[in-house]
Amino acid sequence: MKHVASTWLVVVGALGLVTLTGTLGCSKDTASAAAEEPASGAVSAPEAAMDESAALVEQQGDLRLSWVVDPEGHVWLAARGADGARVEPAKGTLAVRPLGAAAPAAPAAEVALAPSPGAMRADVGPLRAELTELRYTVEVQGKPLTGVLHLPATGTRGLVAAAPAPVDGGVARDTTGPHGGVVQVVGDDVVEIVAHKTSGEVRVYVLDATLEPVAVGDRKVKLAFAGESSQYLELAPAPDGTYLTAKLAAKIEPVHLTVVVVRPGAVHVALCGHWRGDVIVVDHHRPHYALYVVDDWDLFVHGHGHGHGKWKGKGKGKGKWKGPGAHVDIHIH
């Protein structure tokens, strides 16, 4: 795993009461402009209302948070209560940093959140890195809420656009890969993400149309885990080129798992398991992805068909699936 040193941009402020469809004041909107100006309680903001069609929506308890971040780093946050009515966030902070070895250094600056119509507002500077981490702490109806978003250069709209619609063909929701891991479409690629239960090793396999592994070729893959803590991994190809791998410093049950696949001339980013229109339930006590499913990398069971039963066998070599209605092909390596 590569550890990436970066500078944190901290965004702090308080919220006033207005309507969400109102306009926002306009001033400088670049990271450099923010660095030039002392914290004054003002926020640089475009003359635009929050576009909720570009929002990532999280559910925390009975509160719903809608986040919009555009490529220039203009941030909107709207909150709703259990009845769906807009509620007024009281205060909040953002901490923003670019990820990756090639990420530009962010200027250290403090920017006040602007009073805004039912939405909190801030400018954090243009999103120039492949991924930018946005860590938040907000207070809504007296409840402190925390979380982490990992955003591509296209902002939240890019993640929303990358999410498949429920009617789309291709890989179905909750599909598992040949190693038991999570399957995700990222651009033109289908990948499987799977981790060892005890070692923390994470592997990404590239799959073909039949969900069988193929050579990783010239692809580079990065993963951003966001849960009670966060980690960023840049994976390295295995010596035989059959998968990419990295190791977690500590086990994370991610609420968000963001996948970046880089090929010459193209970068694709997807939020793992996110389908268009989904509300992301933030619950740190409940695993969101079945990632940690491997006990032994040398023992892989590939199967197709249907039926119920139990696998019986010892180590490498022979074994059989025993159960009613089973039709399964087994390959053990």
Residue 168: the pLDDT is: 66
pLDDT at 273 over 60: yes
In this structure, are residues 140 and 90 in contact, taking their beta carbons and an 8 Å threshold? yes
Task: List the structure tokens of 224.
Answer: 């951003």
Residue 43: the pLDDT is: 52
Residue 160: the pLDDT is: 94
pLDDT at 12 over 90: no
Name which of 238-242, 260-264, 319-323 the model is least confident about: 319-323
Name which of 27-41, 55-69, 246-260, 271-285 the model is least confident about: 27-41
Mean pLDDT (the chain, rounded): 76
249 — pLDDT class (breaks 50, 70, 90):
very high
116 — pLDDT class (breaks 50, 70, 90):
confident
Residue 167: the pLDDT is: 66
Residue % of the chain over a pLDDT of 90: 46
Residue 144: the pLDDT is: 92
**pLDDT top residue among 45 and 213:** 213
105 — pLDDT class (breaks 50, 70, 90):
low
pLDDT at 293 over 80: yes
Which residues have CB under 8 Å from 242's CB, separation 6+?
205, 213, 215, 216
Name which of 60-69, 203-212, 286-295, 320-329 the model is least confident about: 320-329
32 — pLDDT class (breaks 50, 70, 90):
very low
153-183 pLDDT, tens digit per residue, is 999 999 999 998 876 667 888 889 999 999 9
DSSP state of 159: H
DSSP state of 17: B
Q: Residue 65, Cβ neighbours under 10 Å: how many?
A: 24
Q: Where are the domains of the chain?
A: 9-162, 182-294
User: Would you identify the CATH topology of the domain 9-162?
Assistant: Immunoglobulin-like (2.60.40)
Residue 74: the pLDDT is: 93
Residue 6: the pLDDT is: 41
Residue 36 in 3-state DSSP?
Answer: helix
In this structure, are residues 273 and 287 in contact, taking their beta carbons and an 8 Å threshold? no
Which residues have CB under 8 Å from 167's CB, separation 6+?
none
In this structure, are residues 52 and 68 in contact, taking their beta carbons and an 8 Å threshold? yes
In this structure, are residues 199 and 296 in contact, taking their beta carbons and an 8 Å threshold? no
User: Would you identify the CATH topology of the domain 182-294?
Assistant: Immunoglobulin-like (2.60.40)
Q: Residue 98, Cβ neighbours under 10 Å: how many?
A: 22
If we measure between CA atoms, which residue out of 147, 129, 130 comes closest to residue 138? 147
In which element (H, E) is residue 231 found?
Answer: strand 230-234
pLDDT at 79 over 80: yes
In this structure, are residues 181 and 174 in contact, taking their beta carbons and an 8 Å threshold? no
Q: Residue 191, Cβ neighbours under 10 Å: how many?
A: 27
Q: Where are the beta strands (DSSP E) in 157-199?
A: 182-186, 189-196
In this structure, are residues 9 and 104 in contact, taking their beta carbons and an 8 Å threshold? no
